[in-house]
Amino acid sequence: MTNLPRGHSVSLSGTVISRSIKFNNTGSTVDVAGPAAAFFPLPTGDGGDAGGIGLLPHGYWAWGISPALSVGLGIGPTFGNTTEYNFDFVGRNAGYYFEMQQININPSVAYKVSEQVSLGAGINFAHNESHFKQGVSLSRPAAGFQPNNFLDVKGDAWAIGYNLGAMFQILPSTRLGIAYRSALKFDLEGEQKYNSPNASLVNQDIKASLKTPANLSLAISHKANDKLELLGDLTWTEWSVIQTLDLKNKDTGTDLHRLSYKFHDTWRVGVGANYQLNNDLKLRFGMAYDKSPVRDAVDRTMTLPDSDRTWLSLGAKYNVSKTTSVDVGYSHIFFADAKTERAVTTGYPGPETTRQTIRGDFKTSVDILSMQVNFGFDSCRITFLESPG
């Protein structure tokens, strides 16, 4: 913020994300022998395309109070993905629907210590709403377990975190930035419902503790000449804070379900360039390699079938006037083909028994299109005119 013009700067953006997730069954099995195998039927569908299209809006405001001091506010989602397979999906009993909506409200302050050093800090007020659906593998009408049962769980909560940053003008043409954003701990509360008339599968109020990861980024910018700027960044994300999501009865604390993820910490490395074509038009290019937090097929879930990915991005900035500019950007994310060998178990919280194993391949791709409008002004003045009479 200390590099923005004095006065007020506002940016409003919208990002359209188009995701494609397709599953190919390679030999999913019912792992129960004898007549009891009939009680754990395996669906047969491929689930269709579990991706979709989403819109993520963001807004940012910064006010340069003095040459050294700036304050700002950012509002926007940090997670906004929905994954949904058709109900006949072969992997339904390992999860067929997941939606996470998380919005972050981030007031911040920045101070220019010297011409070479600027520091910043902010508070994050975040709201998370998660919704998960999973089929129930046991189907035994005589005992009250009807076919096509499913579990429906949703919950939401607020959390507070912080972010810190520093920028160093290490050479006249070179800047170095470092930024840290803390983890957030959400004490989710909500409900679980079963699509079942069985009296033992009652609907319950639930609670769960969800932690979203911290991240640390290091970025560098170097102006090679008046037109060309070279960029690089390295980001570490603490995905290992997500190992399991344990659902408990809200009132008694009784264990109900456990969703296993076993994520690992990751690194992302990116390089890019800006080229000032003329006074009004700047062109942008970038690419990045992003490691997946999922390392093993047994830990790859149906609803978060992540894999290593490569980003390719193009963009431009156009100055409409001295105070207004427009940014546009497009990214395509190439995901490595990924396998899963996910167990469907029963028996939690006691010893768990594998009833089905979902084996298959995922093919995933993502297209992202963004547009942002930026404008600045020294002050905001509203004049009220009194009508005659």
Within a domain: 193: yes
Residue 81 has a pLDDT of: 81
Residue 47 has a pLDDT of: 96
Within a domain: 47: yes
Residue 219 has a pLDDT of: 98
Q: What percent of the chain has pLDDT over 90?
A: 81
Structure confidence by residue, pLDDT tens digits, 255-287: 998 989 999 999 999 999 999 999 999 999 999
Q: What percent of the chain has pLDDT over 70?
A: 95
- 11 — pLDDT class (breaks 50, 70, 90): very high
Across 45-54, 138-147, 208-217, 233-242, least confident range: 138-147
Taking a C-beta distance cutoff of 8 angstroms, is the pair 310, 333 a contact? yes
- Please count the structural domains in the chain: 1
pLDDT tops 50 at residue 382: no
Average pLDDT of the residues in 304-314: 96
Residue 74, SS3? strand
Residue 203 has a pLDDT of: 85
Within a domain: 182: yes
Residue 306 has a pLDDT of: 94
Within a domain: 71: yes
**Which tokens belong to 251?**
């009132």
Residue 144 has a pLDDT of: 66
Q: Residue type at 42?
A: L
Average pLDDT of the residues in 171-183: 97
CATH code at position 169: 2.40.160.60
Taking a C-beta distance cutoff of 8 angstroms, is the pair 72, 120 a contact? no
Taking a C-beta distance cutoff of 8 angstroms, is the pair 150, 195 a contact? yes
Residue 148 has a pLDDT of: 84
Average pLDDT of the residues in 44-71: 94
Within a domain: 241: yes
Within a domain: 319: yes
**pTM metric for this prediction:** 0.91
Average model confidence (pLDDT) across the chain: 92
pLDDT tops 70 at residue 142: no
Residue 336 has a pLDDT of: 95
pLDDT tops 90 at residue 384: no
Q: How far apart are CA 14 and CA 371, in angstroms?
A: 6
Residue 389 has a pLDDT of: 38
- 385 — pLDDT class (breaks 50, 70, 90): very low
Within a domain: 388: no
Structure confidence by residue, pLDDT tens digits, 84-124: 999 999 999 999 999 999 999 999 999 999 999 999 999 99
Q: Using DSSP bridges, classify how beta strands 353-377 and 29-30 pair: parallel, antiparallel or unpaired.
A: antiparallel
pLDDT tops 90 at residue 143: no
**Which tokens belong to 310?**
């490569």
**Which tokens belong to 179?**
């930024």
Within a domain: 2: no
Element holding 339 (H helix, E strand): strand 338-346
- Closest to 127 (Cα-Cα) out of 96, 160, 153, 162: 160
Average pLDDT of the residues in 327-342: 96
pLDDT tops 70 at residue 136: yes
DSSP result, 226-287: SSEEEEEEEEEE-GGG-SEEEEEETTT--EEEEEE-----EEEEEEEEEEE-SSSEEEEEEE
Total Cβ atoms within 10 A of residue 339: 16
Q: How far apart are CA 130 and CA 206, in angstroms?
A: 13
Range of the domain at 298: 7-377
